[in-house]
């Protein structure tokens, strides 16, 4: 899987966020939400079949997280650090290129 495009942000925010507790735990650094990896509470995960994909980007548009970004060839890539497994992408995909499968470790 391709590396998360947020890697640099995550490292920057993680560093600053752990250095000083602010009153009210306010995050003064934009992008702090990328530190909070919300993928851990997922039960089902989207499984992607590149051969079926027609690159219509409905999944990309509808993902509420947004945990889908595009690779060099403009195919969707799923960021499992943030995908919460809601299944919206699978539901919207017109070609069934995405199916939800039970999470296994």
Partner 1 sequence: MPIRTVMKANEAAAWAAKLAKPKVIAAFPITPSTLIPEKISEFVANGELDAEFIKVESEHSAISACVGASAAGVRTFTATASQGLALMHEVLFIAAGMRLPIVIAVGNRSLSAPINIWNDWQDTISERDTGWLQFYAENNQEALDLILIAFKVAEDERVLLPAMVGFDAFILTHTVEPVEIPDQEVVDEFLGEYEPKHAYLDPARPITQGTLAFPAHYMEARYTVWEANENAKKVIDEAFAEFEKKFGRKYSKIEEYRTDDAEIIFVTMGSLAGTVKEYVDHLREKGIKAGAAKLTVYRPFPTEEVRELAKKAKVLALLEKNVTFSVGGALFQDFSRALINQKEKPILVDFILGLGGRDVTFKELDEVLEISKKALAGEEFDEVNWIGLRKEIL
Residues at the interface with ligand SF4 (CB under 6 A): 46, 53-59, 63, 65, 67-68, 76, 78, 83-89, 92-93, 95, 97-98
Q: Kindly compute the dihedral angle of the four CA atoms of residues 71, 95, 85, 36, in this order, to the nearest 10 degrees.
A: 20
Which of 1, 3, 19, 30 contacts partner 1 by CB under 8 A? 30
Give the nearest distance from C-beta 18 to partner 1 in angstroms: 7
Q: Is 77 in the site for partner 1 (CB under 8 A)?
A: no
Distance from C-alpha of 55 to C-alpha of 37, rounded to nearest angstrom: 27
Which of 1, 3, 19, 28 contacts partner 1 by CB under 8 A? 28
> Is 76 or 85 the residue whose CB approaches partner 1 more closely?
85
CB 48 within 8 A of CB 76: yes
Distance from C-alpha of 59 to C-alpha of 93, rounded to nearest angstrom: 6
Cα-based distances in Å from 16 to 24, 31, 34, 79, 83 = 16, 11, 13, 23, 25
Q: Which does 28 bind (CB under 5 to 8 A by kind): partner 1, ligand SF4, none?
A: partner 1
Which chain residues interact with partner 1 by CB under 8 A? Answer: 17-18, 21-28, 30, 32-33, 36
């Amino acid at each position: 899987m391709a590396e998360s495009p947020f890697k640099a942000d995550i490292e920057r925010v993680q560093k600053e966020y752990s250095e000083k507790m602010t009153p009210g735990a306010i995050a003064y650094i934009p992008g702090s939400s990328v530190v909070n990896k919300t993928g851990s509470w997922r039960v089902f995960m989207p499984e992607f079949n590149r051969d079926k994909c027609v690159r219509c980007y409905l999944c990309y548009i509808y993902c509420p997280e947004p945990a889908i970004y595009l690779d060099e060839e403009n195919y969707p890539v799923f960021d499992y650090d943030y995908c919460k497994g809601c299944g919206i992408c699978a539901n919207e995909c017109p070609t069934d290129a995405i199916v939800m499968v039970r999470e296994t470790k």
